[in-house]
Amino acid sequence: MASAPSKLYADDVSLVVVLLDTNPFFWSSSSLSFSQFLSHVLAFLNAILTLNQLNQVVVIATGYNSCDYVFDSSSDLNRSFENGRMPVMCSSLLQKLEEFLITDEQLSKEEPEGKIKPSLFSGSLSMALCYIQRVFRSGALHPHPRILCLQGSLDGPEQYVAIMNAIFSAQRSSVPIDSCYIGSQNSAFLQQASYITGGVHHKPQNLDGLFQYLMTIFATDLHSRSFIHLPKPVGVDFRASCFCHKNTIDMGYICSVCLSIFCKHHKKCSTCGSVFGQAQSEAASASDKKRKTPET
Amino acid sequence: MNNGAGRRINGGAEEDDDEDDVNGDLDAWERTYTDERSWESLQEDESGMLRPIDNQALYHSQYRRRLRSLSSTAARIQKGLIRYLYIVIDLSRAASEMDFRPSRIAVIAKHVETFIREFFYQNPLSQVGIVTIKDGVAHCLTDIGGSPESHINALMKKLECSGDSSLQNALDLVDGYLNQIPSYGHREVLILYSALSTCDPGDIMDTIQKCRKSKIRCSVIGLAAEMFICKHLCQETGGTYSVALDESHFKELILEHAPPPPAIAEFAVANLIKMGFPQRAAEGSISICSCHKEAKVGAGYTCPRCKARACELPTECCVCGLTLVSSPHLARSYHHLFPIAPFDEVTSSHLNNPNCKLQRNCFGCQQSLLDPGNKPGPAVVCPKCKRYFCLDCDIYIHESLHNCPGCDSLRHS
């Protein structure tokens, strides 16, 4: 970054932070093998780096037990041009990725029970945002950052608060989160992330052509996006799920102290312990109406 | 920024006393320049461009302020998240004084705008109204509502100052409005007071007791000097009183009112509120919205109870009165309830401890934590996951992200 001549930064220079899902539980059940997936992604990353010589790519692996940086095109190690750029990039990325996968596997203590085996998406998203803040700090002229999530595993409900925090922080610093979902069901987290931050969400129909999807949708820089017809967002589900039964509801009760969501009237909030008045919900809605009438 | 003359009013002077009275005869705006000598901190890089100013000092003041506020509220998780706030702006002739540049009222208007935006960002389910005092009469500028734009636009149109100021009239007016809101809401008044006197029709002490009975939390930010009546009001109603020294201090003070205050059990009754989570209508469908009574294409939300169409969230359904929100609005407040622990500074004992392996890079942004001389530079460590972070990431994590990247990238058993 620092050595790049700052005058050359134009509006089409990108910094792409790619979050790579390496969850072994997902890849063992996926129709696309991990090596095929990597060959698509590596070609895509090379393409981004060649689109503009100032473009920058950072890859963060989202594992099952940990998250780590596996590649940074701006670091000195990856700058060597001796053997040509592409092979150096691929070999260093693959080497770091392999090291990461081994440590990630060693960290798993016991065989997990239950069906949901989500990756630590909130961790890698937070790391990506920290990295992007560093780029913002580097001066007035910096590449335009965006985040691309290549996610296949299911959403982890316990990460909801952390992921939403990260999404709002990204929205605040106007960093779009693009997402490409390669699993079987669609991910509500990724849909919301892309919708709120103004990124693109897409779920490819045919995974054999993943490279083409990546190139046509996610390779364009932020400035050029305004000229291109990108996939339109399908309806985003903003309904909430209640804290008590995890049902999706379109009408419910909210604790006025902690904003926990419940599908029916409780006597006590299970999150913050506040005790609710019994008949007050009716009284409150009545006073609501009373207040409403003079205005309308 | 750090001249102490008035800060001790703000609940005890801690650190800035040594610089007192040095620049006694200068105006506030002049002092900011003579004290900081900001031109001296400018630096050029090799090509002659100006380098960003080293903000280490700023960092430390922010960091300490944050730690203080965290330690005072760390124990409680209850916050008043649904707030009904009236901003009372003093438009008496004192507000046209020019000791703030260009004038007090211009500074107030500018920062009230930032405050309103920040307030709605941090409290998406809360509502704000604006009351102005002019010629001794309090006047309601905007009704309490949830749209930042309408408040800001209304305020910018009415900035003429004249006459006296009356605290009692303003409090009476606001008290009347806030008595109508539902019992679960937190009633608050934030008064931006320029005058040094109040010209009241009756006994203001009665009004203060009335506010106290209605459980209205009154806070005052003064722009001139400390006044007993304001201090008394804040003490009686549980608010905070502070006097701004200069523009940046005023901004700091007003933004302190944006995060939700700790909930006081007796102030608002805990309650379950019925809310609807409307679906976003399909793109391209045409319908008449109930809020503007206009036909609109696409981009609307349908009330789940009465199927009326609303344009934006959060709002109240015009037909059946149901509060309509989307789940991200609720999620935006959750970080107040699950705050992350403040990070500890890495001390030399940490570094010498052989059990803690020295981490060379910041876990968040990969920036090197070593000084140019290859010595360990300043860093902080998360007490839970023991990851090291640089100071910039520390601020970002606590003030904007509200996640610890280290803790989130470890699987919790």
B183 at the A interface (CB within 8 A)? yes
pLDDT in tens, B107-146: 999 999 999 999 988 888 888 999 999 999 999 999 888 8
Please give the CATH architecture assigned to the domain spanning B79-255.
Answer: 3-Layer(aba) Sandwich (3.40)
Mark which residues 334-393 of B lie under 8 Å from A by CB. Answer: 334-335, 337-338, 362-367, 392-393
**Does the residue A233 lie in any domain?**
no
Domain ranges of chain B: 79-255, 275-335, 340-408
B125 at the A interface (CB within 8 A)? yes
- Write out the two tokens for B5: 């003359």
pLDDT of residue A37: 93
**Does the residue A133 lie in any domain?**
yes
Compare B99 and B375 and report the one with higher pLDDT: B99
Mutual angle of helices B167-178 and B204-213, in 10-degree steps: 20
Using the predicted structure, report yes or no on whether residue B6 has a pLDDT greater than 70: no
pLDDT of residue B259: 86
pLDDT band at B1, cuts 50/70/90?
very low
| CA of A208 vs chain B CAs: smallest distance (Å) | 30
pLDDT in tens, B265-320: 566 677 788 888 887 776 667 778 777 777 777 667 888 888 888 877 778 888 88
Q: Does domain B340-408 have CATH number 3.40.50.2300?
A: no
pLDDT of residue A238: 73
pLDDT of residue A200: 92
pLDDT of residue B244: 93
Question: Are A135 and A250 found together in one domain?
Answer: no
Give the residue numbers spanning the domain of A255.
240-295
pLDDT of residue B368: 83
User: Does A255 sit within 8 Å of B408, measured CB to CB?
Assistant: no
- Beta strands B279-280 and B301-302 are antiparallel
Question: Are A249 and A118 found together in one domain?
Answer: no
Contacts of B279 in chain A (CB under 8 A): 235, 237-239, 250
Question: Are A202 and A253 found together in one domain?
Answer: no
Using the predicted structure, report yes or no on whether residue B355 has a pLDDT greater than 60: no
Total number of domains constituting chain A: 2
Type of residue numbered B396: Y
* Distance (Å, whole) CA B226 – CA A207: 69
Question: Are A77 and A197 found together in one domain?
Answer: yes
Question: Are A87 and A48 found together in one domain?
Answer: yes
Other beta carbons within 10 Å of A166: 30
Exposure string of B384-395, with b = 16+ CB inside 10 Å and e = fewer, is: eeebbbbbbbbb
User: Does B143 sit within 8 Å of A295, measured CB to CB?
Assistant: yes
CATH code, domain with A207: 3.40.50.410
**Does the residue A24 lie in any domain?**
yes
Which of A198, A227, A256 lies at the terminal end of a domain, its last residue?
A: A227
A36 at the B interface (CB within 8 A)? no
Mark which residues 280-299 of B lie under 8 Å from A by CB. Answer: 280, 282-283
- pLDDT, one tens digit for every residue, chain A (296 residues): 444 444 455 677 899 999 999 988 889 888 889 999 999 999 999 899 888 888 899 999 998 888 999 988 887 655 555 455 556 677 888 888 999 999 888 887 666 565 567 889 999 999 999 999 999 888 777 889 999 999 998 888 788 889 999 999 999 899 999 999 998 888 888 888 998 899 999 999 889 999 999 999 999 888 888 888 888 776 676 777 777 777 778 888 888 877 888 888 888 887 777 777 644 444 444 444 444 444 43
User: Does B183 sit within 8 Å of A254, measured CB to CB?
Assistant: no
Q: Closest partner residue to A123 among B185, B316, B409, by Cβ?
A: B409
**Does the residue A232 lie in any domain?**
no
> Which letter does DSSP use for residue A216 in this model?
I
Contacts of A259 in chain B (CB under 8 A): 81, 125, 330, 333-334, 337
Question: Are A130 and A88 found together in one domain?
Answer: yes
pLDDT band at B8, cuts 50/70/90?
very low
User: Does A126 sit within 8 Å of B404, measured CB to CB?
Assistant: yes
A174 at the B interface (CB within 8 A)? no
User: Does A67 sit within 8 Å of B409, measured CB to CB?
Assistant: yes
Which of A192, A227, A262 lies at the terminal end of a domain, its last residue?
A: A227
pLDDT of residue A277: 66
pTM of structure: 0.78
pLDDT of residue A224: 87
pLDDT in tens, B54-92: 555 566 566 666 666 655 554 445 677 888 999 999 999
Using the predicted structure, report yes or no on whether residue B202 has a pLDDT greater than 60: yes
pLDDT of residue A286: 41
Using the predicted structure, report yes or no on whether residue B366 has a pLDDT greater than 80: yes
**Does the residue A68 lie in any domain?**
yes
**Does the residue A107 lie in any domain?**
yes
